[in-house]
Structure 1
Amino acid sequence: MKVLISADMEGISGIVHPSETNPGGYDYERGRARMTAEVNAAVAGVLEAVPAAEVLVADAHASFRNLLPEELDRRARLVRGQPRPLGMLAGLDDDTDAVLFVGYHARAGGGPGVLAHTIGAGILDVRLDGRSTGEIGLNAALAGFHGAPVVLITGDDAACAELRELVPAALNVAVKRALGQAATVALHPDEARDQVHRAAAKAVRRHDQVPLVTLTGPLKVEVDLYGPYTVDLAVLVPGVTRAPGARTVAFTAADVAEAYRLVQLLAQLALITPG
């Protein structure tokens, strides 16, 4: 059995402020240690249920260099750094049997959600055939495209509800309850890890009972960008056009994989500032 754990940071128990998720910020080092420990709980749960499982962990936050490699469970392999194919789901392929989302956050506008946003600071919203979709929805659809169900999500209650709407059969662990963008009622980290461990074991045991998220192409994709300069860059990409509204671009993708790649590219363009 092959399992991919995609690990974000905003949904880790106790984390509430951007400084805790950005290198050099107040408590970032403690945040990445807690992130690593919560991921280890998921790894341990997977391997408790299926001792022979192949487990890959994709560091999926910001620069994709947050997990502490020397502290990660040595039975897992770490996917680290960027740019890379499949972004937050790097390591996914057609042989993957199950995907777990650990430390995930809700999309922008889906709150109240702790540190809710949609694919970095540069993208305000992504709509697939008119439906607003955040990182949870995009990643679940890409996993489904490769034949892998998302069997577990951990994060705040808003993130859990977002996946539950898409995949009611998936398990969820709300390690904190959102009071707002930067406020929460959180489980003790040890309790959070215990719950993640138990849920990960249960989730992989029943992976064949969880349906795939499937989106049939072609897909009409609209992306609301934060900066007008990014719109100017985006329309240089073949197939991307300026849509009504100063911040919106649109394109048609043949399938989810193509849509995902182009959205990744737009997120990188959003990091460029005028020269």
Structure 2
Amino acid sequence: MKVYVSADIEGVTGTTTWDETERKESSYSNMSLQMTKEVNACCVALNKIGADEIIIKDAHDSGRNIDHNYLPKNTKLIRSWSGSIFSMVEGLDESFDAILFIGYHSPASSSSNPLSHTMSLKVSKITINEQIASEFLIHAYIAEYFKVPIAFLSGDKGLCDEVSKYNSNIATVAVKEGIGNSTINIHPELALELIEENVKKVFRKPLINNSKELPKYFTVDVEYYNHCDAYRYSMYKGVSKINEKLIRFESDDYIEVLRFINFCL
């Protein structure tokens, strides 16, 4: 069994402020270690149910947060960024049997996490077909494009609720909840136990219902905090400027949507 794991840090238990997610800050090391441990808990579970190969994308900021020494030997870790339009799931293709998301967070405009954002801090909101788009949704559509079942996600409660609405067959573990500029976090060790337990559990039955059909057409609205950004990115081919801070891109090809997102975010 070949499995893909994409990992972020803003949905890891404990992370609350931006300095805890930035390599140059002293508070970062504890959170990057917890990110590594949560990824490892996922990998341990995957190996217990028979994974042959696990590909992991370190998908936060520099892409250099996870300590590979803590992970099983049958893992391969993608560090930094190649420039692929698949971004947080670069290297994903139809050869994978499942994909899992660790440490993911609520989207821009959400109050469910003080670190809520979508791909870029210059964006106040992104919608795809009028649905607020999280980083999970953007990359879930890539999984759907390749027909790779989405097995599991851990992160903040707001995103877990969103994922359950997207597809109730996807197992989720909420390790934190945001309230204003604060977070309520479960114990780090409990997070590891719940991730391992629920990853094992979701694979006890076939993942046939863990995929959805990709939409036939995409209307993507990007709202920026700064009107200058909206003006700049309205120059992308096919983009319409809706108002001073909002641009729109439409296509029936999700690959073209990804090109737009990678250029404009």
How far does residue 114 in structure 1 lie from its aligned partner after superposition? Answer: 4.1
Alignment-derived partner of residue 39 in structure 2: 39
Q: Report if the CA contact (8 A) 1:47-1:201 is conserved.
A: no
* Mapping 1:95-110, distance limit 5 Å: 95-110=95-110
Distance in 1 (alpha carbons) for counterparts of 2:238 and 2:167: 31
1:194/1:226 CA distance change after superposition, 3 Å: same
Alignment-derived partner of residue 133 in structure 2: 133
Q: Report if the CA contact (8 A) 1:62-1:120 is conserved.
A: no
Alignment-derived partner of residue 272 in structure 1: none
Q: What SS class does the counterpart of residue 63 from structure 2 fall into?
A: coil
Does 1:14 pair with 2:17?
no
Q: What SS class does the counterpart of residue 112 from structure 1 fall into?
A: coil
Q: Report if the CA contact (8 A) 2:112-2:156 is conserved.
A: no
TM value normalised by structure 2? 0.93
Distance in 2 (alpha carbons) for counterparts of 1:265 and 1:198: 39
Partner AA of 2:61 in structure 1: A
Distance in 2 (alpha carbons) for counterparts of 1:70 and 1:211: 31
TM value normalised by structure 1? 0.90
Distance in 2 (alpha carbons) for counterparts of 1:263 and 1:134: 12
Partner AA of 1:58 in structure 2: K
Comparing 125-134 with 191-200, which one deviates more in the overlay?
125-134
How far does residue 217 in structure 1 lie from its aligned partner after superposition? Answer: 2.8
Q: What SS class does the counterpart of residue 162 from structure 1 fall into?
A: helix
Alignment-derived partner of residue 67 in structure 1: 66
Q: Give CA deviations for 1:114-165 in whole Å, capped at 9, x if unaligned.
A: 4111222022222222222111211111111110121111012111111111
Alignment-derived partner of residue 247 in structure 1: 245
Partner AA of 1:99 in structure 2: I
Alignment-derived partner of residue 92 in structure 1: 92
Distance in 1 (alpha carbons) for counterparts of 2:204 and 2:97: 11
Please list every run of 5 or more consecutive structure 1 residues that lacks an aligned counterpart in the other structure.
268-275
Partner AA of 2:259 in structure 1: R
Alignment-derived partner of residue 172 in structure 1: 172
How far does residue 215 in structure 1 lie from its aligned partner after superposition? Answer: 2.8
How far does residue 10 in structure 1 lie from its aligned partner after superposition? Answer: 0.6
Q: Give CA deviations for 1:65-97 in whole Å, capped at 9, x if unaligned.
A: 211233333321011112432101112101122
Distance in 1 (alpha carbons) for counterparts of 2:149 and 2:3: 10
Q: Report if the CA contact (8 A) 2:155-2:175 is conserved.
A: yes
Q: Report if the CA contact (8 A) 1:228-1:247 is conserved.
A: yes
Q: What SS class does the counterpart of residue 207 from structure 2 fall into?
A: helix
Alignment-derived partner of residue 119 in structure 1: 119
Does 1:154 pair with 2:158?
no
Give the paired residue count: 264
How far does residue 214 in structure 1 lie from its aligned partner after superposition? Answer: 2.8
Q: Give CA deviations for 1:189-219 in whole Å, capped at 9, x if unaligned.
A: 1111111111122223435243323332331
The percentage of aligned residue pairs carrying the same residue is 27
Distance in 2 (alpha carbons) for counterparts of 1:156 and 1:221: 24
How far does residue 11 in structure 1 lie from its aligned partner after superposition? Answer: 0.8
Alignment-derived partner of residue 231 in structure 1: 230
Distance in 2 (alpha carbons) for counterparts of 1:183 and 1:11: 13
Q: Report if the CA contact (8 A) 2:111-2:179 is conserved.
A: no
Partner AA of 1:153 in structure 2: L
Distance in 1 (alpha carbons) for counterparts of 2:58 and 2:147: 21
Query: For the aligned residues, what is the CA RMSD?
Result: 1.7
* Mapping 1:78-89, distance limit 5 Å: 78-85=77-84, 86-89=86-89
Comparing 245-254 with 68-77, which one deviates more in the overlay?
68-77
* Mapping 1:182-261, distance limit 5 Å: 182-243=181-242, 245-261=243-259
1:206/1:60 CA distance change after superposition, 3 Å: farther
Please list every run of 5 or more consecutive structure 2 residues that lacks an aligned counterpart in the other structure.
none
Q: Report if the CA contact (8 A) 1:11-1:114 is conserved.
A: no
How far does residue 44 in structure 1 lie from its aligned partner after superposition? Answer: 0.7
Which consecutive segments of 4 or more residues in structure 1 shift more than 6 A?
none
